[in-house]
Amino acid sequence: MNNTLPYFKFFVQDYLIGDIQMCSLETQGVFINLVSVMWRKSGSITSDAKTLATRLRISQGVIESALAELCCYGIVEIDDENMIRIEFVSEQLTELQELHTARSLAGSKGGKAKKLRKGSNAKPKPDQLETELETELEPEPEPKQSVFELEFEQVWKEYPEKAGKTNARKAYCAARKSGVAMKTVEEGIDRYRNYVTQKRRTKADFPYKHGSTWFYQRCWDDEFTVATANRRIVTAGTGPDLAK
């Protein structure tokens, strides 16, 4: 059981405009239950429908249908070991583990420094003690930004809805490592901004996706369909048609 935090971060806006909204309400309910169980089990849960049906007290048929729908929209993934993977759950658990490690290291250094201040049977010389204390308490250098992180800072300036920068940065760096070109992302942002501009001509409250959602879902691959002034239909991109 995860004993670091009894809760996970839930971004309401991302949920309301994300791909999960394309799923049935029944599937959305299954998804929330899956996320909750995964968090309690530290991110590890089987995709076996029979086992899930027993654990969640839902019929096996509903589980199978929900998993198929969630996988179809890329909301969950099933790995080679037949385990369910949900990206934002894994990211949050990784962040917590890193925080726990950093705090443990800081506590260890503080304990060593305190022991030195109290002195020891060896009674070190004042100058020796000062040197050891400086060594123990010296802050670790901040990690340098990678090339992809530096790129992201430039790309982030172009994205209109600047919410969820940390998760957006992680998604961008992961995409670059997988071979996605920086230019592809920038062109995707341009197409998306043009798409939203067109949609707002007929639907004033049409919102941009949060940056974390847009980058995580790799929306630079999306295909956008809009009507121009002479009623022609213009499409761009290679992903699913979000206008339908």
Domain boundary among 73, 88, 103: 88
Span 73-102, pLDDT tens digits:
888 888 888 889 888 887 888 877 777 787
Per-residue confidence (pLDDT) for residue 243, from 0 to 100 = 39
**Which domain, by its residues, includes 64?**
12-88
Domain co-membership, 225 together with 156:
yes
**Residue 184 amino acid letter:** T
* pLDDT over 60 at 168, yes or no: yes
Q: Cα 80 from chain centroid?
A: 21
Domain count, the chain: 2
For the segment 1-17, the average pLDDT, to the nearest whole number, is: 71
The answer to whether position 213 is within a domain reads yes
The answer to whether position 112 is within a domain reads no
* Of residues 172, 185, 167, the one with CA closest to residue 146: 172
The answer to whether position 160 is within a domain reads yes
Per-residue confidence (pLDDT) for residue 195, from 0 to 100 = 87
CATH number at residue 65: 1.10.10.10
Span 193-231, pLDDT tens digits:
888 888 888 777 788 888 888 898 888 888 877 665 555
* pLDDT over 70 at 63, yes or no: yes
Domain boundary among 39, 65, 88: 88
pTM for the whole thing?
A: 0.42
Domain boundary among 88, 116, 135: 88
Strand partners, 50: none
The answer to whether position 202 is within a domain reads yes
The answer to whether position 100 is within a domain reads no
For the chain, the residue count is 244
Per-residue confidence (pLDDT) for residue 2, from 0 to 100 = 47
Measured distance CA(217)–CA(212) in Å, rounded: 8
Per-residue confidence (pLDDT) for residue 118, from 0 to 100 = 63
* Of residues 16, 27, 38, the one with CA closest to residue 72: 27
